Amino acid sequence: MEYFPCLFILAFSMRAIIVAFVAISLGGSAYALENGLVRTPPMGWLAWQRFRCITNCTLYPDDCISDKLFRTMADLLVSEGYAAVGYNYINIDDCWLSKERGPDGRLQADPERFPYGIKDLAAYVHSKGLNFGIYEDFGNFTCAGYPGVIDNLKLDAETFASWDVDYIKLDGCYAELEQMETGYPEFGLYMNQTGRPMVYSCSWPAYQTEQGIDPNYAVLAEHCNLWRNYDDIQDSYASLRHIIDYFGQKQDNMTPHAGPGHWNDPDMLLIGNYGLSYDQSRMQMAIWAILAAPLFMSVDLRTIRPEHKEILQNTRIIAVNQDPLGIQGQIVYNTSKIEIWTRKITPVQGDQYSYAIAVVSRRDDGYPYRVQVPLRDAGLTNPLGYLVQDLYGDTTENLLLPDDLIDVRVNPSGVVFWRANIVTDVPSVTTIY
Ligand code: GLA
């Protein structure tokens, strides 16, 4: 009889283990990504926005989607200082494939534009200390009409691993919406089974929102490292605003699911291309930092202007984007075409956070508009105040208390971007940096 309680506990524990195991298997967690990657949003260079599907290398030898383009951009990422500030992925997008699979059924690169194959290109990118990303599509075809993965999920995941790929963007053209919520996790499972950790960028929510369906972000965060929420960004201020507005409108659904290892993706940075003014470029960089967005430049690094390079390489703004807490920011004030976006960042004490604060103007009356809003109205309530620094200005810090004003002038369609570090009553012992 003495042993009865022990046996009972043992039997109970066994049962608990079995129940837990079955629950995990059925609950879909067996597919969970858990690859330990991208604890902060990924940063790098992605071909699509600037180079699209240019495949005629005779006409456009320097612009076509080819081995040469990616090697050149990898070289420049390092030599021009981008890698040193964190941009460490070189990612291919659409139009790299041959129209036919090989005789073994495997995907193959276009033999003329990628004469050494993808594994060789990946090795070159790795030799520069960078990571290598690739693009495919869950459906029958990629958006530009190259072979998709749908009938070869396992084989294609294995092929990518065998090429030493570090990151896969899986698009959703030519696919049934109904198949995506199971099909994308299935591909993720095969990625995991290869044993090679690869970042998984999913596009299925962008296809759901297109049909008016609100994505299930909890499921996405379980299966994907990042996901494209919405429409493609195009090279214009109108497109940029369209995406920012969507992220503002849907923020309560979206932001709780961002965090280390899983991110909302508003799409590429336009900075340095044709469509944005200087002020709009600074505004995109600030909002992408507030949103904890992946920072993928898509620009010709051979010809980018110094002022755009300076925006992209602003280390104080990159530090906001890469803040270790990984909390996505929100719009907290919207009056007279002036928006205030804030993001909680380190250092933290107790329940008091530091903040990034972006004051964004959507005004077009052509003068720098004066904004005066108490810090408290933007949610900054720490009684001891904040040391405030202008992230596009010099590094001077000013002490502001909650009832002091954010008192700034913002250029039309521009931004003023601040970092406000909390002042604490105890030295940094209890402060998390
Ligand atoms: C879709 C994606 C884009 C890009 C293109 C390529 O539109 O959303 O980001 O990858 O396909 O064809």
What are the tens digits of pLDDT across the range 317-367?
Answer: 999 999 999 999 999 999 999 999 999 999 999 999 999 999 999 999 999
Contact criterion met (CB below 8 Å) for 227 and 202: yes
The predicted pLDDT at position 69 comes to 98
**CA 86 to ligand 1 centroid distance, Å:** 24
Atom of ligand 1 nearest to the CA of 143: 12
Residues within a 6 A CB radius of ligand 1: 48, 93-94, 142-144, 171, 232
The predicted pLDDT at position 16 comes to 39
pTM of the model: 0.92
Look over the chain and give the mean of its residue pLDDT values, rounded to a whole number: 93
The region of weakest confidence among 89-103, 111-125, 299-313, 413-427 is 413-427
Provide the residue count of the chain.
433
The predicted pLDDT at position 33 comes to 79
Q: Measuring from atom 9 of ligand 1, which residue has the nearest CA?
A: 232
Q: What is the mean pLDDT of residues 109-119?
A: 98
Select from 246, 307, 312 the least CA-distant residue to 285: 312
Query: pLDDT digit string (tens) for 129-163?
Result: 999 999 999 999 999 999 999 999 999 999 999 99
Rounded CA separation 326/34 (Å): 17
DSSP strand E in 179-329: where?
199-202, 226-228, 263-265, 295-297
Q: What is the mean pLDDT of residues 32-54?
A: 95
The predicted pLDDT at position 425 comes to 85
pLDDT class for 32, splitting at 50, 70, 90?
low
Beta pairing partners, 131 = 89
**CA 297 to ligand 1 centroid distance, Å:** 15
pLDDT class for 31, splitting at 50, 70, 90?
low
Q: Measuring from atom 3 of ligand 1, which residue has the nearest CA?
A: 232
Contact criterion met (CB below 8 Å) for 185 and 218: no
The region of weakest confidence among 7-16, 77-86, 363-372 is 7-16
Q: Measuring from atom 11 of ligand 1, which residue has the nearest CA?
A: 143
Q: What percent of the chain has pLDDT over 90?
A: 90
Whether 200 has a pLDDT exceeding 80, the answer reads yes
The predicted pLDDT at position 64 comes to 98
Q: What is the mean pLDDT of residues 260-281?
A: 98
**CA 346 to ligand 1 centroid distance, Å:** 34
pLDDT class for 34, splitting at 50, 70, 90?
confident
DSSP strand E in 268-320: where?
295-297
pLDDT class for 428, splitting at 50, 70, 90?
low
> Count H helices, E strands: the chain?
13, 16
Query: pLDDT digit string (tens) for 282-307?
Result: 999 999 999 999 999 999 999 999 99
The string of DSSP letters for 310-332 reads HHHT-HHHHHHHT-TT----EEE
Q: What positions carry a catalytic annotation?
A: 171, 232
Select from 48, 44, 43 the least CA-distant residue to 74: 44
**CA 274 to ligand 1 centroid distance, Å:** 19
